[in-house]
């Protein structure tokens, strides 16, 4: 694939509040900032990270104001950054094997990384960069500079944490879960009340063989852990000489995948649904159906991107990605129906070759029609798609030589329906050898693009924060 390797080339340049030329026209109502996180540097003088997920955290910020666009990018000067760049070594952050959950081993031995390169959100009035260790960091919301570790106003011990918090707009709470490893390990479902950094445990489940879980599902009354049969025994992390992710986690398809369904109000585990094995990083939306509200819901509808097995993780090593025949693993968008009470869980395939599913924030936890996603069909570029979850029909935006990133949907204030807004995506133009911010309308028609002064490597997740 031509130019694909540019998306894994190290970036070192940082710029602050640079005005970008806009080709096309930005909607006047777009008034806020789009922040995206991701790894952007894998090499220092003497060291190299092996896995895409292990590159140094790098955040970009696009500030929309009255039709103008300003750009800032920054590597937060965390301990991980200073050790990697200052000392010329990745040692201490990553396992000796350099692989992804080697970080967990370091964490259990008291040396967790603060390389928060996965997602961005706002907590307690601050911009926070998230990763899968509890070492989240606070950032200056404009300059993106490092303000220090996020300290939690609680006594909970977490080891592996989701970076995909979900905010309930009705209550202002953020919801998430973590795994605590031990003789008996635990999954802990928690909420963070608005305006705090206090994780309140809502539910705890003992598990002998905890699974690797990346995101979860939330409906008005339920929270669902999605547990693929990619499992570990925690003692493996503590044994000297053990390797990283793949050595510590085993794919056990005979266990099947499990949905663990909790009531949000009581924390009660009301259902465990076992289904055919799959691996998943990302859920899309979820909602309840049925005549009644809450407790009388008939079933949960849960959309996610599924893979046949856990090779989706090994396929993301830097060696595989930088190889000429590299490419992203191919997942399919599925709609699972999980009955509450009698009945069998089932799923429909909605679309193939997609990742990074997003949807209108206005539709969160409600029946909805449209998932926006990145196509993982990558030949001289990849498309952004919009999938109609009722019919499976899709439309797409694509341009030869352009690789597009996660499509973040921003609703127009006072808008009419779930596609009244814009899609923001940080793209790589491999022909022009530059990145640009792409702005599409809800039908995936281009409204504007703004070239950046450099190439930003392929990254992970972002959030849009309105100014008002
Ligand atoms: Fe993710």
The predicted-structure confidence for 397-454, as pLDDT tens digits, reads as follows 999 999 999 999 999 999 999 999 999 999 999 999 999 999 999 999 999 999 999 9
pLDDT category at 102 given cuts 50, 70, 90 is low
| Mean pLDDT, rounded, for 247-262 | 92
CA-to-CA dists, residue 273 to 89, 214, 276, 365, angstroms = 45, 18, 10, 20
164 Cα to the center of ligand 1, angstroms: 7
355 Cα to the center of ligand 1, angstroms: 10
pLDDT of residue 247: 60
Least confident range from 99-103, 135-139, 335-339, 463-467: namely 99-103
CA 362 to centroid of chain Cα atoms: 19
146 Cα to the center of ligand 1, angstroms: 22
156 Cα to the center of ligand 1, angstroms: 23
Is there a domain that residue 217 lies in? yes
**CATH number, domain containing residue 299:** 2.120.10
User: For the whole model, what pTM was predicted?
Assistant: 0.94
132 Cα to the center of ligand 1, angstroms: 10
Is there a domain that residue 12 lies in? no
Residue whose pair of structure tokens reads 């989240």 in the numeric block:
136
Q: Among candidates 19, 141, 23, 35, which has minimal Cα distance to 68?
A: 19
Residue 30 has pLDDT above 90, yes or no: yes
Residue 110 has pLDDT above 60, yes or no: no
In the chain, % of residues over pLDDT 70? 87
Residue 29 has pLDDT above 60, yes or no: yes
Is there a domain that residue 289 lies in? yes
365 Cα to the center of ligand 1, angstroms: 19
pLDDT of residue 97: 45
pLDDT of residue 248: 75
Is there a domain that residue 345 lies in? yes
User: Residues 349-355: contacts with CB within 8 Å, 24+ apart?
Assistant: 349/392, 350/303, 350/387, 350/389, 350/392, 351/385, 351/387, 351/392, 351/394, 353/377, 354/305, 354/385, 354/387, 355/281, 355/282, 355/305, 355/328, 355/331
- List, for residues 292-320, the tens digit of each pLDDT value: 555 568 999 999 999 998 887 766 666 66
Residue 10 has pLDDT above 60, yes or no: yes
Q: 191: part of which helix (H) or strand (E)? A: strand 185-192
357 Cα to the center of ligand 1, angstroms: 10
162 Cα to the center of ligand 1, angstroms: 9
Is there a domain that residue 261 lies in? yes
pLDDT category at 342 given cuts 50, 70, 90 is confident
pLDDT of residue 310: 85
For the chain, the average pLDDT equals 89
Is there a domain that residue 313 lies in? yes
Neighbouring C-alpha atoms within 13 Å toward the C-beta of 431: 6
Residue 229 has pLDDT above 60, yes or no: yes
DSSP string, 28-79: TT--EEEEEEEE---B-SS-B-SBGGGSPEEEEEEEEETTEEEEEEE----H
pLDDT of residue 3: 82
Query: What total of structural domains would you count in the chain?
Result: 1
Is there a domain that residue 41 lies in? no
Phi, psi (5° rounding) for residue 17? 55, 45
Is there a domain that residue 270 lies in? yes
455 Cα to the center of ligand 1, angstroms: 22
Q: Do the strands 370-375 and 68-74 form a parallel or antiparallel pair, or are they unpaired?
A: unpaired
The set of residues, in sequence order, having a beta carbon less than 8 Å from that of 347 and lying 6+ positions away, is: 275, 334, 335, 336, 337
| Mean pLDDT, rounded, for 228-250 | 70
Least confident range from 28-42, 159-173, 215-229, 313-327: namely 313-327
Print the domain residue range for 312.
76-404
């Amino acid at each position: 694939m031509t130019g694909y390797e540019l998306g894994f080339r190290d970036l070192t340049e940082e710029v602050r509040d640079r005005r970008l030329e806009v080709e096309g026209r930005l909607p006047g109502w777009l008034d806020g900032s789009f922040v995206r996180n991701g790894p952007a540097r894998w090499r220092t003088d003497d060291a190299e990270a092996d896995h895409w997920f292990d590159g140094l955290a790098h955040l970009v910020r696009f500030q929309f104001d009255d039709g103008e666009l300003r750009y800032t990018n920054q590597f937060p000067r965390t301990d991980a950054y200073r050790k990697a760049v200052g000392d010329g070594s990745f040692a201490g952050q990553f396992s000796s094997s350099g692989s992804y959950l080697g970080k967990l081993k370091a964490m259990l031995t008291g040396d967790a990384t603060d390389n928060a390169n996965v997602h961005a959100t706002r907590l307690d009035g601050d911009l926070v960069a998230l990763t899968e260790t509890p070492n989240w960091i606070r950032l200056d919301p404009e300059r993106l500079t490092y303000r220090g570790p996020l300290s939690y106003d609680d006594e909970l011990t977490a080891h592996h944490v989701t970076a995909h918090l979900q905010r309930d707009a009705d209550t202002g709470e953020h919801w998430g879960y973590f795994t605590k490893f031990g003789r008996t390990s635990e999954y802990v479902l928690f909420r963070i009340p608005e305006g705090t950094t206090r994780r309140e445990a809502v539910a705890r489940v003992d598990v002998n063989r905890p699974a690797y879980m990346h995101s979860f599902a939330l409906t008005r009354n339920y929270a669902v852990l999605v547990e693929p049969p990619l499992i570990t025994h925690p003692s493996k992390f503590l044994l000297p000489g053990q390797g990283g992710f793949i050595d510590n986690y085993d794919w056990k398809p005979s266990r099947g995948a499990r949905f663990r369904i909790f009531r949000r109000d009581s924390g009660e585990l009301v259902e465990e649904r076992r289904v055919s094995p799959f691996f998943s990083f990302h859920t899309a939306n979820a909602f309840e159906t049925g005549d009644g509200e809450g407790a009388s819901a008939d079933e949960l509808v849960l959309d996610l991107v599924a893979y046949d097995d856990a090779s989706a993780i090994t396929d993301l090593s830097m060696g595989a990605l930088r190889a000429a025949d590299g490419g992203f693993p191919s997942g399919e968008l599925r709609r699972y129906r999980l009955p509450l009470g009698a009945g069998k869980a089932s799923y429909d395939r909605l679309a193939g070759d997609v990742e990074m599913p997003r949807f209108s924030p206005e539709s969160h936890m409600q029946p909805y029609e449209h998932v926006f996603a990145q196509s993982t069909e990558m030949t001289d570029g990849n498309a952004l798609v919009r999938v109609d979850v009722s019919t499976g029909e899709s439309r797409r935006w694509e341009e030869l030589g352009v690789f597009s990133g996660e499509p973040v949907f921003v609703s127009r204030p006072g808008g009419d329906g779930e596609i009244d807004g814009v899609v923001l995506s940080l793209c790589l133009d491999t022909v022009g050898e530059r990145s640009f911010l792409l702005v599409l309308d809800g039908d995936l028609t281009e409204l504007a693009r703004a070239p950046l002064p450099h190439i930003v490597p392929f990254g992970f997740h972002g959030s849009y924060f309105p100014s008002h």
